[in-house]
Amino acid sequence: MKKKLLLSSAAIVFTILLSLFGYILILYAGDYVIDEKKLVMNSATRLVDEKGQLISKLYLENREIVSIDDVPEHVQNAFVAVEDTRFYQHHGIDVRAVFRALYKDIIAGSKVEGGSTITQQLAKNVFLTNDKTWLRKTKEVIIAINLEKKYSKSKLLEMYLNQIYFGHGAYGIQSASKLYFNKDVNQLTVDEGALLAGIPKAPSTYSPIANMTKAKERRDLILNLMQTRGYVTPEETVRYQGKTVQLDVHQQSADPALLTYTDMVFDEAKSVYGLSNEELLRGGYTITVPLNREVQDIAYQLFQDSSYFPGTDEHAEGAFVLLDNKTGGVLAAIGGRNYVQKGLNRVLVNRQPGSTLKPLAVYGPALEEDKFEPYSMLVDQKLSYGEYEPKNYNNIYKEKISMYDALLESSNAPAVWMLDQLGIDTGKKYLSKSGITIPDNGLSIALGGLEEGISPLDMAKAYRAFAANGQIVQPHVISKIVDRNQKLIGKPSLEEKDVFSKQTAWYMTRMLEGVVSEGTAKSGQYSGTLAGKTGTTNFPGKEGTIKDAWFVGFTPSVVGAVWMGYDRSDLEHHLEQGSSFPTRLMKDILEKSSLPKEVAFTMPSDVTELERPIRLADVNDLAANISFRPLGLFTVSLQWTPADDERVEYRIYKKTESDDELIASVEGEGAYELENVNIFSLPSYYVVPYNTQTDEVGKPSNMVRPEFFSRN
């Protein structure tokens, strides 16, 4: 026993001498030991909408750094009371606590009790491991003393409160406050602060989510300690201890609806602003995004509905992207029906665009080059261009068709003919101006039959030119990014580039409206005004099957694209129906959202309006009568039912033995009179409708010979 006491005394003396020697070393080694970069704690990056509302967090550790000024004094006191009573008196090491712990360790023959101050805990958590060795303890002391030399007590407490772990993925006092009480730290009450102060000692044991009873017991213990230290009165202590624990748990979990969008944020932060994925996860940035959460959620839900995807099995895929017409900001993006983080983002994958490319590569350029007008007549015949023989999907050819109707019906033959007239290089020039570069050099460009294809995002970007006076803008998912100190890192330039003139853009808008109202994109219902184009590409392995189905369209406010198909099409995996499905899906997304449903596009003041197309109707009820009028004159009256469109011209012909003679024309009327006719040589008459927009001649009416009709 005496020998054991002597050994213990010797150990104490040795420890004191070692401590004195260590202190001298501390003065010289402190700067070497402390790597201040480690004091820069991992902090969650926040994604917020344009109104500043939190959308999501990106983090390695869910931590929000707060200033000590935002932490109420009673919350600070709770942590000091339980973790380091003499925090404001010592200089990093509480000697009394150290010797008390040392004595107990020596008696026990092992490390059984800690005497760590808040500063030591900060030193250990930031710079050291959790092993309980004498060497690690020595380093802890060295670092703690030097931290006290460099930083104020309030700064040390701030770093400590931001650093510690509170369970359930929450790091730091602010994240803990949000997790357990769904409030900012500056709103914490005394009893709430005491509850949080009790968790870090053993988060799995004292978490009120995991064990409410033990959490309350520890809260009440800390309230007792606060009363002992004079931070609260006995009366207040009794009142706080009598309160039940009222949690408002707000745990952040990965929202599958946001996975595509957040991945695009990661990509843009890296490619545009030079921030790696790791830096974004730990840097504490605030990123403002143009995301419309409502549209994103609606699109995600509809993408789960297999009835929209007409595949041979349930694995048919799709992609959707919607841009703000004004800024190019990505309002919503779905990279696949079951998109996984860092997975294949089909918004960015090139696909065969089919007929959605016609407005960009053929019709828009033709208008811009002043070689054709919207109602110019195009050749609609089955022609060969070398070995290339494009066919209309319905195998119907009209000999001639207006540009308007060729777009409306998505006829292939006139589109290829027009590109041949226009020149492939000219078509590619406008694609390049739209931000689309392709290696193809054949006339199949007119039909979207490309070697590499185009992504939904690039298609939406290009169609923005029609919605925005002929200009495109680079799409973006980051509207602004600032660091943890609110310093601006960057924002998009929103620079617009000219592709088409305002006049061309307006003509194309009007024609694409027609595609939606009466053409290939009339499937589905949308109560606002919408313009757009469908596209379908066939799967070559099996006749009548489809590889890609598209709709790309725009309203006065937004422009978007929907693609459907399989990642790899084969005999067992292909679409069984075409573009009506993506068209209906786009319309349903827009209809279900609260986005503006404008009733009309606004025509720029300096462009010419495009007249509605004139539609010819057959005349088959022509009637002719002869009447006698004063002065002995005979008059032939021709009557028929005119079309509702008063712009239709009717050409009246007289059939003689030798020839058919045009004798008159009327516009918008269903009657004509011929005076002073010779009743002894009455000819037959017929009427032919005529389209003044396209120079189209309709079918001749029934032929009639006048009969006498008496007038009183």
What is the token pair recorded at 260? 């595509």
CA distance 675 to 706: 13
CA nearest to 687, candidates 616, 583, 634, 601: 616
The sign one gets for the Cα dihedral 284, 290, 294, 300 is negative
φ/ψ of 265, rounded to 5, equals -65, -45
Domains of the chain plus CATH, in order, are: 29-46+65-241 (1.10.3810.10), 354-452 (3.40.710.10), 623-708 (2.60.40.10)
Q: What confidence score (pLDDT) does residue 147 get?
A: 87
Spatial neighbors of 228 by CB under 8 A, at least 6 apart, are 81
pTM tops 0.75: yes
Whole-number pLDDT of residue 19: 55
Burial class (CB in 10 A: 0-12, 13-18, 19+), 510: buried
Distance CA(5)–CA(127), nearest Å, equals 36
Instruction: List beta partners, residue 686.
Output: 653
Model confidence over 582-598: pLDDT tens digits?
A: 999 999 999 999 999 99
Residue 102: the pLDDT is 62
Sequence-ordered list of residues with C-beta below 8 angstroms from that of 426, at least 6 positions apart, any chain: 365, 369
pLDDT of 289 reads 98
pLDDT score recorded for residue 710: 47
pLDDT of residue 363: 98
- Which residue is catalytic, options 83, 148, 268, 409? 83
Contacts of 230 (CB under 8 A, 6+ apart): none
Biggest CA-to-CA distance, the chain: 157
Question: 589-626: b or e for each residue (b if 16 or more CB lie within 10 Å)?
Answer: bbbebebebeeebeeeeeeeebeebbebeebeebebbb
Residue whose C-alpha is closest to residue 472's, from 559, 410, 384, 388: 559
pLDDT of residue 688: 97
Annotated catalytic residue, options 355, 410, 593, 701: 355
684 phi, psi to nearest 5 deg = -95, 155
Does residue 83 carry a catalytic annotation?
yes
Q: Which residues contact 516 (CB under 8 A, 6 or more apart)?
A: 522, 530, 531, 532, 553
Provide the pLDDT for residue 113: 47
Task: Please give the Cα distance from 646 to 211 (Å, whole number).
Answer: 81
Answer yes or no: are the C-beta atoms of 582 and 552 closer than 8 Å.
no
Per-residue pLDDT reduced to its tens digit, 129-177: 555 556 666 777 888 888 888 899 999 999 999 999 999 889 999 999 9
220 contact partners, CB below 8 Å, separation of at least 6: 241
236 burial via Cβ count (<10 Å: 0-12, 13-18, 19+): middle
pLDDT of residue 467: 97
Which phi-psi region, left, alpha or beta, contains residue 182 (left: φ > 0; alpha: ψ -120 to 50)? left
Instruction: Report d(CA 380, CA 416) in Å as an integer.
Output: 10
Token digits of residue 137 = 């303890």
Chain centre to alpha carbon of residue 80 = 46
Q: Which residues of the chain have pLDDT under 50?
A: 5, 13, 20, 24, 26-28, 30, 32, 110-113, 710-712
Closest CA to 512 of 497, 534, 537: 534
